[in-house]
Amino acid sequence: MNMANSKLKEIISRIEKTMVADEPNRTRHFAHLGEEVCAVTYQPEENLFKLEDFKNQQTYQFDDIDLVAIEVYEIL
């Protein structure tokens, strides 16, 4: 797969935007075929990412942006 078209790169880019200091919205929602399937919220106080998987009604925490991005990719 061409890196310019990498879905994982796009996911990481969206998640990175939640980490910007002056960003008021620290949550990014991800949809598949128009249906919202998960959301990632950055928690700066703990330097953690919270992933909400709506289909499986599960919540996960990650301390690594790559790991949360891979999980989002798998959900999508």
DSSP for 55-70 reads TTTEEEEES-HHHHHH
Domains along the chain with CATH numbers? 3-75 (3.30.720.20)
- The pLDDT, as a whole number, for residue 3 is 52
C-alpha–C-alpha distance, residues 26 and 20, integer Å: 9
**pLDDT, greater one: 6 or 48:** 48
- The pLDDT, as a whole number, for residue 25 is 81
DSSP for 2-39 reads -GGG-HHHHHHHHHHGGGSTT-S--EEEEEETTEEEEE
| Model confidence at 4: pLDDT above 90 | no
Torsion angle in degrees (nearest 10) through CA of 24, 4, 1, 67? -30
Tell me: the pLDDT tens digits for 23-75?
Answer: 778 999 999 999 999 999 999 999 999 999 999 999 999 999 999 999 999 99
Position 6 confidence tier, pLDDT thresholds 50, 70, 90? confident
